[in-house]
Amino acid sequence: MNVEDRWTRFEELDAGRVLGDLDAAELAEWQELSRDFGSDDALDQLAAEVEAVLILEKPLVLPPAVAARLKREFAPAPATNTASKIVIGPWIGWAVAACLLGLLVVNSFFSSQPSTPEKRLSVLVEKAADAKRLPFAPASDSYAGAKGEVVWSDSRQEGYMTLSNIPANDPTKRQYQLWIVDPARDEIPVDGGVFDIPAGASSVVIPIDAKLAVRSPAAFVITLEQPGGVVKSKQEVVVALAKS
Amino acid sequence: MDACIEAHGGLVWSIVLKRVRDRSAAEDLTQEIFTEIWKTSGRYDPLIASESGFVAMIARRRAIDWSRKQQRLPEMESLPEKADFPAPVETPGLAMDRDSLWKALESLPDETRRLFTLHFEQGLTHSEIAESTGLPLGSVKTRLRRGLLEARALLGRLGDRLNLNPESRS
């Protein structure tokens, strides 16, 4: 392979490195070639700028509980002697803060987060002024008894389904999956997460796990899919539907 | 850091959640990313990258490393540490860069733009993109790689001030 071919190969592998798709053999090849051609952050930077530009068109909202947790963790530590900080080294302040904040996290996170979906649903209904409730209706004769409702808050990007009379599934064979139809966002429904209905449950509360930001949901659709869910549903088995 | 979390929390969360589809792991990784931002922010140079680009680069690397760990693949090197994150500021000239970037993206072939949207915006894996588009997995991988290189070449031709021209590498 001449120098030009090696450079071309290096560039392709470097792009793969930035995209995170190198397998072990390619990574070893990239490492070898990078010894000759060098490596910098330029392509990483381009990929990051592209991703930021595309995401910032429709970014997700950092959940308030997560933002609050982060802010607590990075809150300034209690005043300390500056001189001793310099002598010991700049990292020590961080280390101490990390330890203190680690304790804070454990305490505050577990004490402030309602522990069950039922409780978190109650909190959402109580605190989210924009929480909308939509009833589920059966979508096929096989699920004629399906009942329930969905509660969703656009501002908090949080929601829950309360479901009853939906047959229990065997997670090793099939799993239920929620789809959120948001025409304002895209024609492709947003994956709302895979879930199971346990045997013997009369009514269950399922947290919605929207993989992308949802702005103005027009409908919530439950389908039955292969274990782990699918990227795009063929809608072969549609269980229930909630429309706004 | 509060201002940083306010300004970039949504961006980091978007980058993380679409790759790490486990909420609890995503929360932990978001915390790690902000820690790394805090530690490496001294490297931030507004003449080289936008602030959101700098944050996105750290978040992307962390999220990709997390994915590689799950697949038991070797991880990439991380950035050197240096603390003191600057307060978010409006940096003159960044709007022009963003315009150049949009121009470059709009100049890409339709199929590449579609793949970019699926990969960068929606965070689909290559396998998921292959399933969604019907393209062979190898083609998805190759076209995304070449698309990124093509975007860099287009930016170079547009005279963007980002140092993305391979010939300028020293």
The mean pLDDT of A130-157, rounded to a whole number, is: 91
pLDDT (mean) for A35-61: 85
Q: What is the pLDDT of residue B160?
A: 45
Residues from chain A contacting residue B142 (CB–CB below 8 Å): 12
Q: Are residues B61 and B115 in the same domain?
A: no
- For the stretch B46-71, pLDDT in tens is 777 888 999 999 999 999 888 877 77
Interface check B95 vs A, CB under 8 A = no
Long-range contacts of range B137-144, CB-CB < 8 Å, 24 or more positions apart?
B140/B115, B141/A16, B141/A21, B142/A12, B143/B111, B143/B112, B143/B115, B144/A15, B144/A19, B144/A21, B144/B115, B144/B116, B144/B119
Contact B141, B155 (CB under 8 A): no
pTM of the model: 0.55
Domains assigned to chain A: 3-55 (no CATH), 64-112 (no CATH), 118-243 (2.60.40)
**Residue B85 touches chain A, beta carbons under 8 Å:** no
Report if residue B139 sits inside a domain: yes
| ipTM score for this prediction | 0.80
A105 falls in which pLDDT band (50, 70, 90)? Answer: very low
The pLDDT of residue B90 is 40
What residue of A is the nearest CA neighbor of B2? A71
The verdict on B49 and B12 lying in the same domain is yes
Confidence of residue B167 (pLDDT cuts 50, 70, 90): very low
A71 interaction partners in chain B (CB closer than 8 Å): 1-2, 5
Task: Indicate whether B28 and B63 sit together in one domain.
Answer: yes
Chain B: closest CA distance from residue A144 (Å): 31
| Interface residue B107 vs chain A (CB under 8 A) | no
Phi and psi dihedrals of A190, rounded to 5?
-85, 135
CA of B61 to nearest chain A CA: how many angstroms apart?
A: 8
Contacts of B53 in chain A (CB under 8 A): 45, 48-49, 52
* Percentage with pLDDT > 70 across chain B: 76
pLDDT above 90 (res A164): yes
Q: CATH number of the domain at B38, please.
A: 1.10.1740.10
Position A242 confidence tier, pLDDT thresholds 50, 70, 90: very high
pLDDT value at A20 more than 90: no
In the prediction, which pLDDT does A108 show? 39
CB contact under 8 A, A43 and B152: yes
Interface test with B, best of A21, A22, A27 (most B CBs within 10 A): A21
Among A155, A164, A151, CA closest to A192: A151
Residue B17 lies in a domain: yes
Q: Please write the tens of the pLDDT for every residue from B103-141.
A: 888 889 999 999 999 999 888 888 889 998 999 999 999
Sign of the four-CA dihedral B109, B115, B118, B123: negative
The total number of structural domains that make up chain B: 2
Residue B105 counted as domain residue: yes
Q: How far is B167 from chain A (nearest CA, A)?
A: 11
**In-domain check, residue B66:** yes
Question: In the prediction, which pLDDT does A86 show?
Answer: 35
CATH code, domain carrying B103: 1.10.10.10
Range of the domain at B109: 94-162
B101 plus B137 within the same structural domain: yes
Q: In terms of domains, do B61 and B120 share one? A: no
